[in-house]
Chains A and B, each alone.
Chain A
């Protein structure tokens, strides 16, 4: 990976990012019967739980190895052992995911070695997945991806499967990897695979674990998630497809499976908008040899029709897009497609991927100037720029609200976190239907603005 992009000054204010252990916890939540343990102080686990609960509105249990002063001096092995054993005793998970923190990394804990020893001592323990997620590197996005890759590395092809656990299917077997998207969007992906008769293993699949029903009985861990056996069998798939931006190899599970087991791998950006969804479906069809279902054509046609209906409301409207790399890239492609003018795109991630990706894309029709693309960028940095750019709409996570309120610019909440609106998990953006839902929201935001700012009080807009 390239050198991370640095800030021109020493502080960060109003960050547009969280830390790697949050991403790790989130990804682990997408594995069936998996308990995440954060190896560090109690606060990391508790703060991250609280932060995620306020977005997902679901129970999110994350254990901690609860460091104290002596742990810092003597190392965290004993605490990790105790944490793993207590989690095992209380939750009976089928997998335990272990993410490191800035503290355990700084004191030099070798978690990989700890785990070998713990496993030797307690062979009854379920698989333990260690992932290095120090908070002083990257962001939640990198933590999430590294965790998916770490899971695949630890499990795929590494455990014996019983005869009945080996995936049997008439159709092709596909591994599908996603960056941080909504549970509703995961459900759409599953539906597409099912319609195309593809046997897919989606990882991580938190469509139920982070957006499930009320319980008729107590569950230590919410039902759902990618089954352990499915992940173990990933080396047997006919192919892998990675959704999201062009992340570096060391974050990418599909890349690893290709290199290690020769599973063919493809990648495409999040299917948002007509072109990206077309591209996604054709890649899917290409890898698996299955036909694109007719229902997709109807949804596509309705979306194009909606684009036509919407174009006048949107053309040339200046938008600011922010969030994680894959989301901002997808929003940028969508914005270009519907005639919006993305004047500023930024992410808190310092990876450099967003700039590299967006620079290659053609200038949007409605843009007079190339968009400003910023990385390792926070709301504190963005404020003055946004003041200058005077955009019509902000699209991104709810932390943009301070700017929205201060400058009286509407904010359409997309991505993570959404702490001040309802139904974040049910938001759709992927596929033709998801794009239509996003389009409706964007147009309605513009319409509402026009209506509320009008002195006439139009009842037709």
Chain B
């Protein structure tokens, strides 16, 4: 079988090899029907953002599947309540599709809220709800009055855009909570951490850095999230936004409404996490010059710890070739930098939701010959794994078996990971993962990549 899989015509401008022709990249498009996109839907985007709010009830209004497939799907951990790790659905059936689901939704809220005593409830509209015409907003208003907690509609009908639109919808839901607690005192040197979902406790690592710098973290949106923290988040002095903009909509909204400035950071890799801490310290320099000194000391101390082990990994990994495919492009920037620190070459990089600016930056960062893809599919990615002779793939669960089948190592860098990859210690974990994937002796038996695999 040939490896020269043709690109779908509609997708030709969503794939670019650096150095070959003009960079006229297209992105932020709807997925092409039949292309087997790795993206999910609007509902998925909303679930990504809101899922970690641990003391809220998350109710999927629709057929059972949407709830089943997102039950405990992410590695967001909580230091207290764990309501987010349960799965609730209105389980709409044929008769509800015919007669409407409003009554069932109201009834479900009446059953679940007294039982689980959440601090708020998010009601996610799924595809059919958008079609059968339920007035979810009205039901939520009524439930809020009757049941005494905020019941917040999330207009996340799957077909209503892409995963990225789901982020926006979730942020809109969060804005209904932000600003509802105006009494709790908050320090002048304080931030909200946005777009950090506390996968494998990553938010705690980052929060500890800020504590060491003397910066108060008012709220993490939404890792280890609590409704009450979100309510007072408008009182922080700065919003520090991570991830490829899943929470940028909220930061923009808070800037407009409460005048809180925001900055974008990444906590992956020595370079980016150091920069994040320095940037935040820089912001507070006038208020308290000591913050910068503490940040510098912290970075020095942490980087020193990493030097020896990183050097060992670098010597082992030098010359290996990696492919990256992640949800947001911002993470890809950091990954390219980390892999460079490890002397690994990036030969393919792509994302599900990057924008024009993101891809221009990627093209700028990458070496000639690197393939850049937007909203790619298994066919395309398999082709580039083979063409570029990739040793290691970094992505999510859906890409994992494709890499393994082709005898290529794989690192999970998605929302399901169980190992912390953020911060300085996360960088070391990541290096270890890269090494354990790329250097494993099992690939010796891969029939595609070595002779010993062909024997039997």
Contact B111 A10 (CB under 8 A): yes
Contact A10 B104 (CB under 8 A): yes
Chain A residues in 8 Å Cβ range of B70:
47
Contact A17 B378 (CB under 8 A): no
A1 to chain B, nearest CB (A): 12
Given the known interface contacts A217-B448, A218-B382, the answer about A17 and B1 at a Cβ–Cβ threshold of 8 Å is no
Contact B33 A66 (CB under 8 A): yes
* B23 at interface by CB-CB < 8 Å: no
The distance in angstroms between the C-alpha atoms of A20 and B159, with both chains bound, is 19
* A323 at interface by CB-CB < 8 Å: no
* A388 at interface by CB-CB < 8 Å: no
* B59 at interface by CB-CB < 8 Å: yes
| Given A68-B159, A101-B127, A215-B448, 12 other A-B residues pairs in contact with their CB atoms under 8 A | A7-B91, A12-B90, A13-B87, A43-B158, A46-B37, A47-B69, A61-B36, A65-B33, A67-B159, A82-B34, A136-B97, A218-B406
B88 to chain A, nearest CB (A): 5
* A158 at interface by CB-CB < 8 Å: no
Contact A215 B63 (CB under 8 A): no
Closest to A73 in B: B131
* A59 at interface by CB-CB < 8 Å: yes
Chain A residues in 8 Å Cβ range of B30:
66, 68
24 pairs, CB–CB < 8 Å, chain A vs chain B: A7-B91, A15-B64, A15-B68, A19-B63, A19-B65, A47-B44, A47-B65, A50-B397, A50-B398, A53-B398, A53-B401, A54-B397, A63-B34, A67-B159, A68-B159, A83-B33, A90-B377, A90-B379, A106-B131, A135-B65, A139-B64, A217-B448, A218-B382, A218-B406
A433 to chain B, nearest CB (A): 23
Identify which of A12, A47, A48 contacts B89 (C-beta below 8 A).
A12
Chain B residues in 8 Å Cβ range of A72:
130-131, 159
Chain B residues in 8 Å Cβ range of A4:
93
* A197 at interface by CB-CB < 8 Å: no
* A299 at interface by CB-CB < 8 Å: no
Interface membership of chain A positions 303-320, coded 1 if the CB is closer than 8 angstroms to chain B and 0 otherwise:
000000000000000000
* A220 at interface by CB-CB < 8 Å: yes
Q: Which of B36, B96, B379 has the most CB of A within 10 A?
A: B36
Contact A42 B40 (CB under 8 A): yes
| Segment of B2-10, B266-274, B318-326 in the binding face | B2-10
Contact B159 A46 (CB under 8 A): no
Given the known interface contacts A43-B43, A50-B397, A106-B131, the answer about A216 and B111 at a Cβ–Cβ threshold of 8 Å is no
Contact A14 B400 (CB under 8 A): no
B124 to chain A, nearest CB (A): 12
Interface membership of chain A positions 214-227, coded 1 if the CB is closer than 8 angstroms to chain B and 0 otherwise:
11111110100000
Interface membership of chain B positions 4-42, coded 1 if the CB is closer than 8 angstroms to chain A and 0 otherwise:
011010100000000000000000001111111111111
* B282 at interface by CB-CB < 8 Å: no
* B343 at interface by CB-CB < 8 Å: no
Contact A220 B37 (CB under 8 A): no
Chain B residues in 8 Å Cβ range of A65:
33-34
8 A Cβ contacts from B111-130 to A = 111-112, 127-128, 130
Chain A residues in 8 Å Cβ range of B52:
none
8 A Cβ contacts from B393-419 to A = 397-398, 400-402, 404-407
* B303 at interface by CB-CB < 8 Å: no
Q: Which of A43, A67, A72 has the most CB of B within 10 A?
A: A43
The distance in angstroms between the C-alpha atoms of A43 and B66, with both chains bound, is 9
The 10 residue pairs across chains A and B that have the minimum distance between CB atoms: A43-B41, A86-B34, A19-B65, A83-B34, A41-B158, A10-B107, A216-B447, A11-B108, A135-B63, A47-B69
* A31 at interface by CB-CB < 8 Å: no
The distance in angstroms between the C-alpha atoms of A85 and B35, with both chains bound, is 10
The distance in angstroms between the C-alpha atoms of A276 and B212, with both chains bound, is 66
Given the known interface contacts A18-B68, A218-B3, the answer about A46 and B63 at a Cβ–Cβ threshold of 8 Å is no
The distance in angstroms between the C-alpha atoms of A64 and B30, with both chains bound, is 12
8 A Cβ contacts from A44-63 to B = 44-51, 53-54, 56-63
Given the known interface contacts A13-B88, A90-B35, A217-B448, the answer about A137 and B65 at a Cβ–Cβ threshold of 8 Å is no
Contact A215 B94 (CB under 8 A): no
Identify which of A43, A46, A101, A136 contacts B398 (C-beta below 8 A).
A46
* A458 at interface by CB-CB < 8 Å: no
* B161 at interface by CB-CB < 8 Å: yes
Chain A residues in 8 Å Cβ range of B10:
86
Q: Which of A41, A50, A84 has the most CB of B within 10 A?
A: A41
Identify which of A63, A82, A102, A215 contacts B127 (C-beta below 8 A).
A102
* A442 at interface by CB-CB < 8 Å: no
8 A Cβ contacts from B77-106 to A = 86-94, 96-97, 104-105
The distance in angstroms between the C-alpha atoms of A116 and B251, with both chains bound, is 50
Contact A66 B446 (CB under 8 A): no
Contact B44 A46 (CB under 8 A): yes
Chain B residues in 8 Å Cβ range of A54:
397
A419 to chain B, nearest CB (A): 9
The distance in angstroms between the C-alpha atoms of A91 and B5, with both chains bound, is 9
Chain A residues in 8 Å Cβ range of B354:
none
Interface membership of chain B positions 41-77, coded 1 if the CB is closer than 8 angstroms to chain A and 0 otherwise:
1111000000000000001001111111111100000
Q: How many residues from A make CB contacts under 8 Å with B?
A: 79
Chain A residues in 8 Å Cβ range of B158:
40-44, 67, 103
B450 to chain A, nearest CB (A): 10
* A192 at interface by CB-CB < 8 Å: no
The distance in angstroms between the C-alpha atoms of A56 and B404, with both chains bound, is 13
Q: Which of B34, B398, B404 has the most CB of A within 10 A?
A: B34
8 A Cβ contacts from B318-373 to A = none
Chain A residues in 8 Å Cβ range of B41:
41-44, 46
A155 to chain B, nearest CB (A): 22
Chain A residues in 8 Å Cβ range of B160:
68-69
Chain A residues in 8 Å Cβ range of B64:
12, 15, 17-19, 135, 139
Contact A216 B34 (CB under 8 A): no
Chain A residues in 8 Å Cβ range of B107:
9-11
* A399 at interface by CB-CB < 8 Å: yes
Identify which of B33, B104, B159, B401 contacts A86 (C-beta below 8 A).
B33
Closest to B382 in A: A218
* A89 at interface by CB-CB < 8 Å: yes
Closest to A62 in B: B36
Contact A137 B93 (CB under 8 A): yes
Closest to B456 in A: A213
The distance in angstroms between the C-alpha atoms of A186 and B140, with both chains bound, is 49
Interface membership of chain A positions 365-403, coded 1 if the CB is closer than 8 angstroms to chain B and 0 otherwise:
000000000000000100000000000000000010010
* B289 at interface by CB-CB < 8 Å: no
Identify which of B37, B94, B398, B448 contacts A214 (C-beta below 8 A).
B448
Contact A136 B128 (CB under 8 A): yes
The distance in angstroms between the C-alpha atoms of A9 and B111, with both chains bound, is 8
Chain B residues in 8 Å Cβ range of A91:
379
* A107 at interface by CB-CB < 8 Å: yes
* B297 at interface by CB-CB < 8 Å: no
The distance in angstroms between the C-alpha atoms of A388 and B66, with both chains bound, is 31
Chain B residues in 8 Å Cβ range of A139:
64
Chain A residues in 8 Å Cβ range of B131:
72, 103, 106-107
* B293 at interface by CB-CB < 8 Å: no
Given the known interface contacts A9-B107, A53-B398, A72-B130, the answer about A46 and B40 at a Cβ–Cβ threshold of 8 Å is yes
A194 to chain B, nearest CB (A): 21
* A451 at interface by CB-CB < 8 Å: no
Contact A11 B112 (CB under 8 A): yes
Given the known interface contacts A49-B398, A68-B30, the answer about A19 and B68 at a Cβ–Cβ threshold of 8 Å is yes
B146 to chain A, nearest CB (A): 15
